[in-house]
Amino acid sequence: MTNINIPFLGGRESLHRRVNILKSKYPEASELLDFYWDIYRLQEEQKEHIRKKGKDWKDSKDWFIELLDFCIQRGSPVIKERAEELRHEDWSELVHRMERFLIEKEENLLDRFFFLSFLAPFYELKREILDIDPYNWLRNHCPVCGFRPSLSYLADTEDVEGGRFLVCPLCDSHWLYNRAMCVSCGNVEDESIDYYYDQSNSAVQLQVCKRCGYYIKLVDLRIDGLAIPRMDDVATLTLDLWAEERGFKRFEKNLFGL
């Protein structure tokens, strides 16, 4: 298998540099980016821990509590309040709800944030072990965990020039998908697919399908080679607000429910 250079996993240093660049460019997303960066660091620590101990997520209540405590300290008022409530919930009930979430892929946005943040390290490791060929899957759900992609990007790789890759919000799988096709309904008619972007940054676009009303974000790494799709996605939340005002629906929301 040929590895693609996965932008989000470009290493801690480049990720941190990107967060700082984005914070100065998008001050409205500054707090969220800081929060995301801290969650990422906690998840990376946790991943190392799981790698060494080989723990199952159902036996990792301690990690869930650590995440909640962090959110109580550093989260927005809404996240903090929900974290405090979850801290008092029965663990076996939470496990049951997360099992259901993994099957149905649906949850209220607030709990979805906690569940995805908690489960991600386990599923990222699963993805690393499974080592699926990203070039031949070509479907609109993740080859590892079945989630719908929360964003996409365009990149030149050794195998594909200007290929469009979809990104899973849970396990961070990246896989190739038809560049001009609506990820929701499969529409490929040029005249009903539009691209929108802010004048100040043409590297982050919305691919909007007028046939089904869904859109997906598209980060063009050929325009901005330093972009890190998952971070740039969070930074450009005004694009999502713009789309929402016009009645377009995001195919799958990101970690923060945007």
Which residues of this protein are in contact with Zn ion, per CB under 5 A? 142, 144-145, 147, 168, 170-171, 173, 182, 184-185, 187, 209, 211-212
What separation in angstroms does the CA of 120 have from each of 105, 124, 155, 168?
14, 6, 24, 10
Give which of 109, 115, 102, 64 is closest to 250, Cα–Cα: 109
d(CA 112, CA 108): 6
Residue closer to Zn ion (CB basis): 60 or 184: 184
The 3-state DSSP class for residue 215 equals: strand
Q: Which is nearer to Zn ion, 83 or 145 (CB)?
A: 145
Task: Give which of 83, 80, 66 is closest to 31, Cα–Cα.
Answer: 80
Closer to Zn ion by Cβ: residue 82 or 217: 217
Tokens of 257: 């429910």
> What 3-state DSSP class applies to 163?
strand
Q: Which is nearer to Zn ion, 90 or 106 (CB)?
A: 106
Shortest gap between Cβ of 158 and Zn ion (angstroms)? Answer: 23
The residue behind tokens 């031949």 is 136
